[in-house]
Structure 1
């Protein structure tokens, strides 16, 4: 039986990459049913370009009135797709994700029951893994290895296939996260109830300028430092959710980060320290609501 897949693609001010991403999705050897494009209040020509899809029933374009960050965009997109469905799966991706032609086919080949399936994210046109998008392995990660997949605890929104069952059990991404950690929180929330797997044969290419991870110590761009507030706040939220042991580990990592910023050679040290301390303090009081599927929405399925 063919599985119906809806794509949720979030974009912000990267029109040329968005065009390539759309073409890559349309070029899949296994066609998708519908593509939901969430325009996160882009200030370039994105909105005008997307008008060309208004009369194409393969697409649903949602222009947000403000930039809600990746978290808000994916939350809005999944809600819209779920409300339009149900679909069997929802394929979540960034606007700088270029899936290989058989990426979706190889995700759907997995026969093991799963709430989350993660693609193999490579950096640009290389064979290097995209460092920021490496899934977190489960403690029993070998379970599934005979089926050419690896069991995981969390993965990246760069290319994540989420089942309809996962949405009905676990709800939607937390929009208040804004950026950073939203994909880890959401996928790990799902894998606490359903299995998640990394699918090496499903290859997508992440078109980032550099192959690096979130690193405030070596951040050279003063204008980007404020973003690390969300990394610190969201990370503490996830740690608290996961229990005392994880929270203690997070606290030790936070203290270590402060020391490293102080002693290592780095620009804008004071701003970096203020940003992560502010984020960490906010994390203790950060209690966003996890939006669940309502009974009315389920009845409309």
Structure 2
């Protein structure tokens, strides 16, 4: 238990929170999100927009909201597309340097429910790493895989969806589409790792947070997805469509997880290898049943190949704690 957790709970101040959004060439979706933030009550103290070098009218859209958002807007335009991983790392850094006590991460393809921050703030005195719930594009309840099988480094797809009277469940994962995290935890585990580019970055970051604090998913609907994604409906669960880039990074980035596991002394080569094999198999199923094709397997194999280089890199180091960085 950290010193912050051992002390008496402090009431939540909405102005102490910052929303950090990553966007890339989706100005229409971003406009919907910013409109929802303008309608929030209460509002956060800051909204940070990280633009991954968009080529559309994202800059103009952001500037059009500056006077009507109702809170301070900070805009960071990256020189190149750093992926979701690089964008969230930068968004977290900016929010942290602004002095935010709470940092709420989200993609540009969601909107915030008007009382979303109040709902998250209700749990802030008790926990330091919190995940709220979200509605899917069609208004249904979105199921997020909030627990991972740690030795294998993969989500548990059938972890119970229901909540008991406590209103929360322990989690050992994370999702940047709604992660609500306290600066004390960010200080201890550092910024999200931009080397992932996309995929596994938020799961790994949430897992790192769960090693420092009691992480929970709470029975509070705070977001709604605003983009429809092709899915395969399996009844109790669904599987989303993917892309060649995702197929590449989902296999390549297993090596980054392996390096994190090694650095923390939890790496089991047999069980982790099984997790990688199951991941590969899942992507094959996704190709056949969601995307109705068998093309794309070359990107999986390319990811495995490049991952071997990362796994053998003796110079690899995890992201440093910010307290270490601050002290030089």
Considering fraction of residues, name the structure with more helix: 1
Match status 1:136 vs 2:147: yes
**Alpha-carbon shift at residue 65 of structure 1 (Å):** 0.3
Q: Name the SS of the counterpart of 1:7 in structure 2.
A: strand
Q: Name the SS of the counterpart of 1:282 in structure 2.
A: helix
| Aligned residue number for residue 233 of structure 1 | 255
Residue 249 to residue 20, structure 1, CA distance change in 2 (3 Å): same
TM-score where L is the length of structure 2: 0.75
Match status 1:180 vs 2:199: yes
1:114-159: per-residue Cα shift (whole Å, max 9, x none)? Answer: 22110113311322315xx4322799x9xx9553111111121000
Match status 1:19 vs 2:31: yes
The answer to whether the Cα contact below 8 Å between 1:38 and 1:62 also exists between their aligned partners in 2 is yes
| Aligned residue number for residue 322 of structure 2 | 293
- Worse overlay, 151-160 or 276-285: 276-285
1:202-261: per-residue Cα shift (whole Å, max 9, x none)? Answer: 331223432659xxx996855664344444434444554565565422212334566788
- Worse overlay, 157-166 or 113-122: 113-122
Instruction: Pick from 122, 125, 136 the counterpart of residue 109 of structure 1.
Output: 122
**Alpha-carbon shift at residue 30 of structure 1 (Å):** 2.0
1:98-129: per-residue Cα shift (whole Å, max 9, x none)? Answer: 12212221111115532211011331132231
1:169-218: per-residue Cα shift (whole Å, max 9, x none)? Answer: 221111111111111111111110111111111331223432659xxx99
Matched length: 291
RMSD over equivalenced CA pairs, Å: 3.5
TM-score where L is the length of structure 1: 0.81
1:12-51: per-residue Cα shift (whole Å, max 9, x none)? Answer: 1111110111122222222111100000111111123323
Residue 211 to residue 100, structure 1, CA distance change in 2 (3 Å): farther
The answer to whether the Cα contact below 8 Å between 1:232 and 1:279 also exists between their aligned partners in 2 is no
**1:34-49 matched pairs, under 5 angstroms:** 34-49=46-61
| Aligned residue number for residue 109 of structure 2 | 96
